[in-house]
Amino acid sequence: MAFKILKNIYLEVAICTVKKPLFFLVIFIWLVFTGHVAAGDDGELPDLWLDLSMGAPLIDLFNERARPEDIARVEHISQLDLLEGVTTGRKLVVFKSAADAMRLLPHIHEDIDIIGYNLEHGPANPIFEQENPVESIKQLREVTDLYELELALGPDRRFAQSDGAAMAPYADYFILQVQKVQTEPDTVYEFVEPLIEEVRRANPDIQISLQIRTEGDVDQLLDLLSPLQEEIQGVSVLTSEETISVTEEIMETLRPAGQIKEPEPAPDEPEEAAVSESAITAEPLTEEESVTETPDLAEKEETQSNEVLPAPTPTEIVSTAEANERSGSTTLFIVIALVAGFAIGAGYINHRTSS
């Protein structure tokens, strides 16, 4: 009798032990397929483009890590020369005055890809534009279209809430400034979530970015962005010389070393001479500076054209997407096998109990 009681207790414990892991495995599979498991590996936010304010120490880092869709930004027209050293991604210069931007665009349009309009309540912004924000961006849009440039709007919080949706149809990018409250997630979400809906209704094609600054804990900053990564397309980063190490950590996390970047297309023909001038100083290059190294470039291109590249092996032909799909299928198969094993074990125990 005692043996039979002990046997029944053992079987009950065994069944409970089987049911619990089985329950948690089912919950895990549900989380995977409904997207509630972390979206990126190692805390990455792979689908967001990066908009980084430039300083001289950051140019090499940006050139090394940036993707073609990333943006190198300068905060003032006086820093335009910094963008000359940028060799990848896109280039943006910020204006606080639409009138100033329209006046200088004929001179700088070939050196940039995007105009940034930072409309705020302050002495740096013209009173007329503060009183007529929609008309101001509308006029700026007409000029940017003339030079085939994109327009990024970065209003302060008051303008974003009062006129953001009305200005959105004239912008390609909408930058949400949350850097002053980035350590207060609830405040950030309360501000940006309803605004994103309004801006998206006004312009379904607009790209939305969350702007942070290089202060505080990087993991906390990424935690702030993660819940919004389905609603925003980019992250804008304000940098400073005092926080270079934080900027480097952000770049290491969002753009890890060794990632594959699309190669920049080679020019069809080397230019005969570099005939250009600074949009700010209007000083032409000297004769000595204008001499390019065309013979070396031609020799290099000829050497590269004569090289015979090995044919790709079957392994090399597999794309990243296919590899990820295969890996995901393998993981799913293992999980299903484990679930099936637990189910069979539970059925066996129930069968033995009933017999």
pLDDT tens for each residue of 302-333: 444 444 444 433 333 334 344 444 445 555 55
pLDDT in the model for residue 293: 38
Task: Tell whether pTM > 0.95.
Answer: no
- Would you give the DSSP letter of residue 277? B
What is the Cα–Cα distance from 7 to 12, expressed in whole angstroms?
A: 9
pLDDT in the model for residue 83: 96
First to last CA, the chain: 17
Among 22-31, 67-76, 209-218, whose mean pLDDT is lowest? Answer: 22-31
CA distances from 224 to 45, 67, 130, 191, 302 (A): 11, 22, 30, 13, 50
**Mean pLDDT, the chain, as a whole number?**
75
For the cut 90, the answer to whether the pLDDT of residue 27 exceeds it is no
Question: 287: pLDDT confidence band, cut at 50, 70 and 90?
Answer: very low
pLDDT in the model for residue 341: 63
Cβ-defined contacts of 242-247 (< 8 Å, 24+): 243/213, 243/214, 243/215, 244/55, 244/57, 244/58, 246/214, 246/215, 246/216, 246/218, 247/52, 247/58, 247/61, 247/214
Per-residue pLDDT tens digits for 102-159 = 999 999 999 999 999 999 999 999 999 999 999 999 999 999 999 999 999 999 999 9
The amino acid at residue 315 is T
pLDDT in the model for residue 122: 92
pLDDT in the model for residue 231: 94
Per-residue pLDDT tens digits for 208-231 = 999 999 998 999 998 999 999 899
Per-residue pLDDT tens digits for 226-266 = 999 899 999 999 999 999 999 999 999 898 876 545 555 55
